[in-house]
Amino acid sequence: MNYRHAFHAGNFADVMKHLALVAILLHLRKKDAPFAVIDTHAGRGLYDLSGEQAARTGEAAGGIGRLMVPAVMQSALPEALHRYLAIVEGASARFYPGSPIIATMMLRPQDRLVAIEKHADEAAALKSSLAAFRNKALHSETADGYVRLTALLPPRERRGLVLIDPPFEDADEFAAQARAVAAALKKFATGIYLLWFPVKSAAEANEFAGEVLTAGAKKALRIDLDIGAAERVAGEKERLSGSGLIVINPPYGFADDMRAALQYVAPLLSDKARFEVRWIAGEE
């Protein structure tokens, strides 16, 4: 499959992934010590939901669109969900912020972001998107995130988050992601890793989880969200309905944060939605 982000920005998978990103960064902010965020597949930063690619799929309407409504925005929300929606609202109704922009909005003066994107056009757009934040410690580069990652580890801050969110353009993407994690853990075993993957086959997703554990993850949480089989439109390709995250070395309390947020979010995304948050290695 090709998960090029412009077509899917703001969909249900982004909602879960970016909720997790915000929740982790809220935990990292609890200590004064600086942290780094390394985003290996950063994309373009901002996505125009009125653009041709987003309009072609309309996935944002069934994702973030179901949350950005007065009844939700005026509710008493879990902290991570409240912060996430506030960041999205700040980007305006037309644009959806990708992971590097969301991370940037969460950085303090002492924190740092490294955003990597290998597609030249996307990397140029990313650089432009980040240019607005002149008061933040930001660095973007055009490179293969898998190749660059180990050279950036361990970060000088000795604490932080690595986000690996590939577009799944290549047939061996699961294996490439697992290899990258294995190499990264050898250099930064105490880091927090947030791994996203599509769930089109339960067997494939389970095999990937096993490869992550084999790579050396001693403490890992898996989060799955399925919104149920979408109705097919004649001539349209089957749409993704399942999304997964593996979080290595999650902060204390993160699992409960995600359960609370998804308990609120899942029914809004679909009346068929179900989610699961479970430890696959170690425990809190």
* 229-245 per-position pLDDT tens digit: 654 333 445 678 899 99
> Model confidence over 200-221: pLDDT tens digits?
889 999 999 999 999 999 999 9
Copy the structure tokens of residue 174. 């699961």
Give the whole-angstrom CA distance, residue 172 versus residue 168: 8
The percent of residues above 90 in pLDDT, for the chain, comes to 78
2-11 residue pLDDT tens:
445 766 789 9
Per-residue confidence band for 59, with pLDDT thresholds at 50, 70 and 90: confident
Domain range enclosing 11 = 5-281
Helix (H) or strand (E) holding 100: helix 99-106
Is residue 6 within 8 Å of 44, Cβ to Cβ? yes
pLDDT for residue 233: 38
CA 98 to chain centre: 8
pTM of the model: 0.93
CA-atom Rg of the chain in angstroms? 17
How far apart (Å, rounded) are the C-alpha atoms in residues 59 and 61? Answer: 5
For 46, the 3-state DSSP assignment is: strand
- For 245, other C-beta atoms within 10 Å of its C-beta total 23
Instruction: Let me know: does 35 contact 156? Beta carbons within 8 Å.
Output: no
How many domains, the chain? 1
Which residues sit opposite 91 in a β-bridge?
none
Amino acid at 282: G
* CB 99, CB 42: distance < 8 Å: yes
Angstrom distance (rounded) from CA 145 to CA 151: 10
- Structure tokens, 137: 């410690």
Q: Which of 191, 187, 167 is nearest to 177 (CA)?
A: 167
Specify whether the CB–CB gap between 162 and 188 falls below 8 A: yes
Domain CATH code at residue 236: 3.40.50.150
- β-bridge pairing 192-198 and 46-48: unpaired
Report, as residue numbers or ranges, the catalytic residues.
165
Handedness of CA 114, 115, 120, 125 (dihedral sign): negative
Query: So what's the pLDDT on residue 66?
Result: 93
**Mean pLDDT, range 94-116, rounded to an integer:** 96
As a whole number, mean pLDDT of residues 159-187 equals 94
43 touches 117 (CB < 8 A): yes
Residue 110: helix, strand or coil by DSSP? Answer: coil
Mean pLDDT of 55-65: 80
Write the burial class of residue 156 (CB in 10 Å: 0-12 exposed, 13-18 middle, 19+ buried): exposed
